[in-house]
Structure 1
Amino acid sequence: MINNNLHFSGMNKVRLFFRILIFCVLTVVSQIGGLVYLLTLYIFKSLDPRIKSKVAFTILKLTSFVVLYLITAFIIVPPVAALFGRVPLPIYSANHLKPLNKITWMFNRNYVTPKLRRAILNASVEMNKKYPGTEINYLDACFPFIDKFPLIPHLSHNDGRKLDLAFLYIDNHSGKESNESPSFIGYGICEEPQNGEVKTAEFCKSKGYLQYSFLKYIIPQSSKTDFKFDAERTKSLVELLDKEEDVSKIFIEPHLKERLNLQSGKIRFHGCQAVRHDDHIHFQVK
């Protein structure tokens, strides 16, 4: 009897550990996922004895979690986020702005202040006027709630005022302007410095900032040769953002600022403590 009790106690501790782990992971990646998980556990606590098949019970619980999560994310969160001064960016193409990856909006990483949304929509519309057919791909923004709540792995995407954008590219096979990106997440495939340009990544590595280029080594590079960095359109996008009165800072790698002849004081080096910005544009508003 004692051994059985000890075994039962051990199983409970293991289950509790995994539940805490799942709660933490879901909270870190989506902000609301952990709470939805707890709600699902609460609902199914009373159903546990009634469903004999463990497989059926697990499938039903997982399905219920997904449904509850989607209802929360797309019906409940947007109006509540508005109370925190944040609004979602479009989840499909709207005003020539779209997410590069569906994970961004599925995990609530597409919330910004109204000022920022206005700035990027203005820039997207103007880009399409100048380059018909061009769509701007946004990457990570911020979570819907609570200033200082971290959007891992970013250092500063925690107040609704920051947004990352994918570079613009030319399709090497067709030679035409493309709205696609060589990286499926928009990060990690870098436009390296050319001969004579400043090599910031090497400098940061020499100072011990080993995280500076880590995405380059974990993101598959197989699609890199399919695309060519579109210097003209990327420069135009940065300049349009610079013209927006509410935009306060734009981060891009120093060698690209030099290559594209970008002169604005808003365009700055982000520091070695971050990650390299020759794979995307970061901008923020006041």
Structure 2
Amino acid sequence: MKIKQYRTQFIQELSPFYDAYEAESFFYLILENKHKLRQIDLALNHELSFTEDDFMVWDSLLEELKKEVPIQYLLGKTSFYGLDFEVNENVLIPRPETEELVEWIIKENKIFDKTKKLKILDIGTGSGCIAVSLAKNLPNADVFAMDVSKKAIETAKKNAINNNVRVTFMYKNVLELELLKYEYDIIVSNPPYVRNLEKEEIKKNVLDYEPHLALFVDDNDALVFYRKIAALAQKSLLEKGQLYFEINQYLGKEMVDLLEKMNFKNIHLRKDIYDNDRMMKVNI
């Protein structure tokens, strides 16, 4: 069967689970990752075909997609801030909103590249997408990252190596810490922030396959990680130090109130590309 014909079949079989645009995007992602072929290659050569072994791989991927397994896990990688990252069931799949947080940090601190050595800590690093992206784009920074999951740290270490940056990783449970080991110019965190009451809003591909440890918090204490990290930041941020968070879109006001009560300065709440309250920056 020619690839063009299989494409039609592939999209049709996924139609009960995804819209046509998303199904088509999956097809071309697999085509590029497995065969190094782009959409333009198929458009220019309608006679391209698969081997029997190719069909077996594609059919296997198709069945997994029908179960709504994330395409990023099936391919074992994803793109984030222009870099390639290995992802698996031990880490969250990086989101575009988090790219916005990284962009904010880089823009605010690029000016210091040649004049000041920055020390940055990423708490709850997961795949390492924030830490690695900052290390790549702020070459005058010493970047540290911690996570409570050893398997997540193993993945993040691979991503640092693959992207040719140096990040110091630490296996720590931030909720058990009374003091951070070093002082930092910047602390950033995208901690668990989805309340159990919001599970009904979560898509099956996230709820069934991404690690709940990195996603959910108790409804009765939804800001537990933010409160703890902010308290640690008060002790460990250097003068004029910056604290950045990705936050639950429904808890922007609560986050502002929390940080005001803790006497942080210059509190900025920023919306993401979807017009949701998503990021915060404060100064010590």
TM-score (norm 2): 0.34
Q: Which of structures 1 and 2 has the bigger CA Rg? A: 1
Higher relative contact order by CA 8 Å / sep ≥ 6: 1 or 2? Answer: 1
Q: Which has the higher strand share?
A: 2
